[in-house]
Structure 1
Amino acid sequence: MRPQVFREGVTAGLIGAFTIALWFLVLDVIRGDILGTPVVLGNSLISLFLQPGELPSRAGAFLLYTVFHVAAFAGVGLLFAWVVNASERTPSAFIGFAGLFIVFEIGWLGWTAVLAEGTYGELSWLQVFLANLIAAGVMGFYMFRQHPGLAKRVELAVAGSPE
């Protein structure tokens, strides 16, 4: 992996992770349960590895989920940076990625709605959906600032101009 792709990917991932963390921090403060969302998610994550009824401390759940959240977004950011950099050479690749992103978001929305019906009713599908859109927006803004000519090349590819 080229250093530029790695740098852009990790940076975009950190931007996305921070954006979602900030979004849920604001919602948690409004609800009166500061850091409630990462604690709930950390408990659900660790429950995959513990005996039923065993849960880590609130701080342990928060730290576990934070590490997982940052690592997951770094991975997403790396994939996004790889696609954007590949799209510099083949702009139509970005169109395919945009389609996959939409399918992923719809799937994630459905999965969140299923979780909200069960144990994780505290997490509204709308809150998660908005968080994903906000994070995708700021990550996309960052990446397009790094590649200012890409939007025009993708627009030309959509219009049918030769790449």
Structure 2
Amino acid sequence: MAEQSIWKRGILVGMIGAVTVAVWFLIIDVITGRPLFTPATLGSAIFLGVEDLDQVEVSAVVVLGYTVVHLVAFILLGLLVLAITRRARKTPPLVLGALLVFVVLQALFIGLLAIAAQFLLGAIAWWSIAVGNLLAGLAMGYFIWQKDPSLREAVRREPFNRKH
């Protein structure tokens, strides 16, 4: 795979994750009668230093600003995930390690959110964060699995439960 297509695929993987999470929270926000409240809350915390739900600003600038941060974070994650899966072609059990890292990062993210911006957990339920990130991980993983036949072949050749 050419270097340019590695970058393109990593960016695409990240965008798949970002859109998945954004759509998940848009659904949650619409169901609760507060469209765009989640990105507005996170954007208000990041850009305006808001520490109370009453101060959240639901505006195009705040929502778009947070959307850029969200997208960049997921693109970086997509590039990391793609790098791990490329290595997993040679060492398939790395996929299990990546899953463990995902679980640990989930717990770390929710824990840091609880410590740094406790008011956010009043507005955004921890389970909705976990579900959104799980959906993103599944969407990203499915895309990679479908587009990378050499990874599938490596996993078939060297199953995780082998005995030495």
TM-score band by shorter chain is 0.7 to 0.9
Tell me the residue number matched to 1:85. Answer: 86
Q: How many residues align?
A: 157
Give me the TM-score of the superposition, normalised by structure 1.
Answer: 0.83
Q: Any gaps of 5 or more consecutive residues in structure 2?
A: 50-54
Aligned equivalents of 2:67, 2:117: Cα separation in 1: 24
Matches within 5 A, 1:7-86: 7-48=8-49, 58-86=59-87
Q: Work out whether residues 41 and 58 of structure 2, in 8 Å CA contact, stay in contact via their aligned partners in 1.
A: no
Look up the match of 2:161: 159
Q: CA, structure 1 residues 116+136, in 2 after alignment: closer, same or farther (shift >3 Å)?
A: same
The CA deviation at 1:56 is 6.7
SS at match of 1:159: coil
Structure 1 residue 152 displacement after superposition: 4.9
Q: Distance in 1 between matches of 2:124 and 2:58?
A: 20
Q: Secondary structure at the match of 2:119?
A: coil
**1:115, 1:14 → 2: CA distance?**
28
The whole-number CA distance in structure 2 between the counterparts of 1:28 and 1:145 is: 31
Q: Which runs of 4+ in 1 moved over 6 A?
A: 54-57
> Is it true that 1:119 corresponds to 2:108 in the alignment?
no
Q: Within 5 Å, which residues of 2 pair with 1:104-115?
A: 104-112=105-113, 114=114
Q: Which SS does the other structure have where 2:12 is aligned?
A: helix
Percent identity between the two aligned chains: 30
The SS at the match of 1:34 is coil
**Could you report, residue by residue, the CA deviation over 1:41-83 in whole angstroms, capped at 9, with x for unpaired residues?**
10011135xxxxx987711110110000001100000000111
Cα pair distance change 1:115/1:18, threshold 3 Å: farther
What displacement does 1:88 show? 1.5
Aligned amino acid, residue 70 of structure 1: L
In structure 1, the residue matched to 2:135 is 134
In the other structure, the counterpart of 1:4 is: 5
Cα distance change on mapping 1:107 and 1:143 into 2, 3 Å:
same
Amino acid at match of 2:82: A
Distance 1:105 1:57 in 2: 26
Counterpart of 2:52 in structure 1 is none
Per the alignment, do residues 84 and 67 of structure 1 end up closer, same or farther by CA in structure 2, a change over 3 Å counting?
same
Structure 2 CA distance, aligned partners of 1:117 and 1:73? 21
> Deviation string for 1:121-149 (max 9, x for gaps)?
11000000000000000000000011134
Stretches of structure 1 that go unaligned for 5 or more consecutive residues are 49-53
